[in-house]
Amino acid sequence: MMNYKVIEGGITAAKGFKATGTAAGIKYKDRKDMALVYSEQPCTAAATFTTNVVKAAPVKWDMDVVEHSPYLQAFVVNAGIANACTNEQGMQVCEKTAETAGKLLNIPAKAVAVSSTGVIGMQVPVDKIIAGVEKMVPTLGSTKEDGLTAAQSIMTTDTISKEAAVTFEIGGKTVTMGGMCKGSGMIHPNMCTLLAYVTTDLAISKELLAKALKEDVQETFNMISVDGDTSTNDTLLILANGMAGNPEITTEGPDYEIFKEALHYVNQTQAKKMAGDGEGATALIEAKVLHADTKENAKKIAKSVICSSLTKAAIYGHDSNWGRIMCAMGYAGAQFDPEKVDLYYEGNGHKMMVCHGGAMTDYSEEEATKTLSASEVTLVIDMNAGDATATAWGCDLTYDYVKINADYRS
């Protein structure tokens, strides 16, 4: 039984959160490219960031404010330029952005997080950013449409905006949690360009908010990959403003578990939306590893399969080249007995076994092609070796991926 209820909405679903977006002309013409989210009350904050050694300026800014500021109350996002490899000038852009937003919202600059996504190496036109913030502040709103506007404004090569929201009960109070995210290329386990935000009116201690986020990201955002490139800008930020009025969660226990379950739904839903909207993708690929000897091996194998260019290209061609799945499992860095492995395809309502005990079954190629033509293809990998499971998500590799990335800057 689920302890949460899925609802419509996104970043403005929870009490007290307002959002907006605008076309600031930072890089794109006549297209929304900046978003602002604001909470009426100060928020407990937690975040995870890219593991890339080359960290964008806004990542450095956010690492500082999430760790050292007593609370956060707003964040500003721009799409088009990543503000990465911009050195001191890039840091100044972050400061100016936060200062401008803080002044207009009457909150400290250090209560404002900033994020950027787009081309690496270009300097951000700070005057356009400031004008954008000035334009956005008066248009903040708390409707579903305002949330959607924000979600649309942070897109780059994304083809659809991505939101999720749930409600759940804590101490007799209804708590709401919503999120928005963007990400399509440069997506890889260990955080991606991947900007994801979750807002909730839950009251919870900073320590437990951070713990829940850190744990859940291992099973959700760190289990997706589009192209194996871990971005310089990845950020997942959660803000909790306590306005639901629940007794604050300060210890692990049933309430904390309910919150974690809801958080997992929001994160997993957003992560899958990113994988399915991978650059040029025509299908979401799910790799589900069953009966592995250890959880760690299950995760390695699931990730390796969804990262394999050859497997991804085969699925784009609806070609039942299951040997490539075995090959990707084999170089995952996990030991296993290939002659115990069973493989199944699931898609379009079919489930079929293509490999039993490490060798080909007598399956129908026609049925396989049909199954692999689904817009969501699941590769079930039964290791027959233990009790551990793991799931990872990716997408197929298409001509359009190459096209998008050969022409990206133009």
Binding site for a copy of itself (CB under 8 A): 51-55, 82, 84-87, 89, 119-123, 185-186, 188, 190, 227-232, 307-310, 313-314, 316-317, 319-324, 326-332, 334-336, 338-339, 355, 357-360, 397-399, 401-403, 405-410
Q: Round to whole Å and give the CA distance between 134 and 277.
A: 32
Q: Least CB distance from residue 218 to a copy of itself, whole Å?
A: 17
Tell me whether strands 235-240 and 194-200 are parallel, antiparallel or unpaired. Answer: parallel
Q: Which of 156, 193, 235, 269 is catalytic?
A: 193
> Residue 160 or 359: which CB sits closer to a copy of itself?
359
Residue with tokens 């404010």: 65
Strand partners, 45: 239
Asked if residues 307 and 396 have their Cβ atoms less than 8 Å apart, the reply is no
Q: Least CB distance from residue 404 to a copy of itself, whole Å?
A: 8
Asked if residues 55 and 232 have their Cβ atoms less than 8 Å apart, the reply is yes
Strand partners, 168: 4, 175
Q: Least CB distance from residue 355 to a copy of itself, whole Å?
A: 7
> Residue 120 or 210: which CB sits closer to a copy of itself?
120
Nearest to 353 by CA among 362, 344, 340: 344
Rg of the chain's alpha carbons, rounded to an integer? 22
Active site residue 100: no
Alpha helix stretches (DSSP H) within 186-317? 206-219, 254-276, 295-307, 309-316
> Residue 243 or 307: which CB sits closer to a copy of itself?
307
> Residue 153 or 184: which CB sits closer to a copy of itself?
184
CA angle 358, 362, 363 (to 5 degrees): 100
Q: Least CB distance from residue 405 to a copy of itself, whole Å?
A: 3
**What does the chain come to in residues?**
410
> Residue 110 or 324: which CB sits closer to a copy of itself?
324
Q: Least CB distance from residue 330 to a copy of itself, whole Å?
A: 3
Torsion of CA 244, 248, 249, 254, to 10 degrees: -70
> Residue 141 or 386: which CB sits closer to a copy of itself?
386
Cα of 6 vs its chain's centroid, Å: 18
Q: Round to whole Å and give the CA distance between 181 and 194.
A: 7
Asked if residues 72 and 111 have their Cβ atoms less than 8 Å apart, the reply is yes
Residue with tokens 């399509």: 184
Q: Least CB distance from residue 342 to a copy of itself, whole Å?
A: 12
Catalytic residues: 193
